Amino acid sequence: MLLNKGYDVHGIVRRVALEDETHRLWRIRKIIDNLTLHAASLESYASLVKIMQKIKPDEVYHLAAQSYVGYSFEDEFSTLNTNINGTHYVLSALKEFEQNVKYYFAASSEMFGKVKEVPQNELTPFYPRSPYGISKVTGFELTRNYREAYNLHASSGILFNHESPRRGFEFVTRKISFAVARIKNGMQKNIKLGNILSKRDWGFAKDYVEAMWLMLQKEKPGDYVIGTGQEHSVEEFANLAFSHVGLNYKDYIVTDKKLLRPSEVDSLIADSSKARKELGWKPTVNFNDLVKMMVESDLEYIKNNL
Ligand code: GDR
């Protein structure tokens, strides 16, 4: 999106990922020659200061994190360390560099956790239910404090789940769309899932990056909830995905207790009226089309890789 808008785009990548391009950087393969990548890590404050001073960015999009909620229970130490300290380091490095930079922080609907009201807006109290959710609340508060204390143009997008054919295989939507394509081609017999009753507000990632950009074009920074305002269960996602290839999901889903989370977020639904009013943002892809897009893309992927 930024390249299309004529930006000069820089990114930071850990050295380990740079050394394993094919496997680690597949999502940006098509555009990699148009980007400038720098070896740096969220875990190293010094590397971030160095990069900020070298590039002198106009806009910074801080999306990096250990972002898999389920895994954050298994490795809470590294999730909290990387997500909290990493965000602090980025903010502090920006403060050092003292320019008119605009900063975006990827907050999350996981901050609402065991929801205090329905739907959730920017004023809904937080009640995170995982180490990941807790780390995002801290990042959100750090962002707000740097905005208030140092007058930094720092905004947080409280994004609800956003999916696309580039989604990682560990997240439930992609796990299902990929399994559907494999099952249809006789490569897999069933799919193991955890809690299929949990509900999420699922939108299309491409719509959501537009919202991030719009936040940084505003004269004043702020916090914005971004979501579609519609919720669906994991079961509904599976039902639609399997029906799309003419199969009944009930014949293929196996419940695996190991995939249940120690404390679950049962239901999330966004009230993004602030973003709609102040940013002029609205989602363009509905749930049915999103599921269809992901299944179609994985059928194509299987066809090309058989
Ligand atoms: P989430 O996404 O935790 O909402 O966070 P995920 O797709 O992992 O889970 C959604 C819901 O599905 C249930 N579920 C399963 N989840 C996974 N991953 N695998 C399974 O087999 C499975 N079975 C059922 C989960 O319990 C959960 O209720 C995503 C991430 O992208 C975060 O980084 C981001 O902040 C939020 O969305 C907004």
Q: pLDDT tens digits for 134-152?
A: 999 999 999 999 999 999 9
Residue 108 appears among annotated catalytic residues: yes
Whether the predicted pLDDT of 247 surpasses 90: yes
Residue 51, φ and ψ in degrees, nearest 5: -65, -45
Rounded Cα gap, residues 75 and 7, in angstroms: 36
What residues form DSSP beta bridges with 226?
A: 159
Min mean pLDDT across 6-20, 163-177, 290-304 is at: 6-20
Run of H or E residues at 223: strand 223-226
Please tell me if the CB atom of residue 231 comes closer than 6 angstroms to any atom of ligand 1. Answer: no
Please confirm, yes or no, whether 19 is among the known catalytic residues.
no
**In whole angstroms, how far apart are CA 227 and each of 51, 207, 230?**
32, 10, 8
pLDDT exceeds cutoff 80 at 306: no
Assign residue 151 a region: left if phi > 0, alpha if psi is -120 to 50, beta otherwise?
left
d(CA 290, CA 287): 5
pLDDT band with cut points at 50, 70 and 90 for residue 18: confident
Give the residue, out of 108, 200, 231, 253, with the most ligand 1 atoms within 8 A of its beta carbon, to mutate for a pocket test.
200
pLDDT at 235: 98
Is 110 assigned a catalytic role? yes
CA distance 40 to 180: 37
pLDDT 10s digits, 145-200: 999 999 999 999 999 999 999 999 999 999 999 999 999 999 999 999 999 999 99
Q: Which domains does the chain have, with CATH numbers?
A: 40-167+195-233+260-305 (3.40.50.720)
Q: Is residue 130 predicted with pLDDT exceeding 90?
A: yes
**What are the DSSP calls for 55-84, one per residue?**
H--SEEEE--S---HHHHHHTHHHHHIIII
Closest ligand 1 atom to residue 67 Cα is 33
- Phi/psi class of residue 75: alpha, beta or left (left: φ > 0; alpha: ψ in -120 to 50)? beta
CA 45 vs. chain centroid, Å, equals 23
CA of 173 to the centre of ligand 1 (A): 8
Give the mean pLDDT of the chain.
96
Q: Which atom of ligand 1 is nearest to the CA of 234?
A: 12
| Residue with CA nearest ligand 1 atom 4 | 161
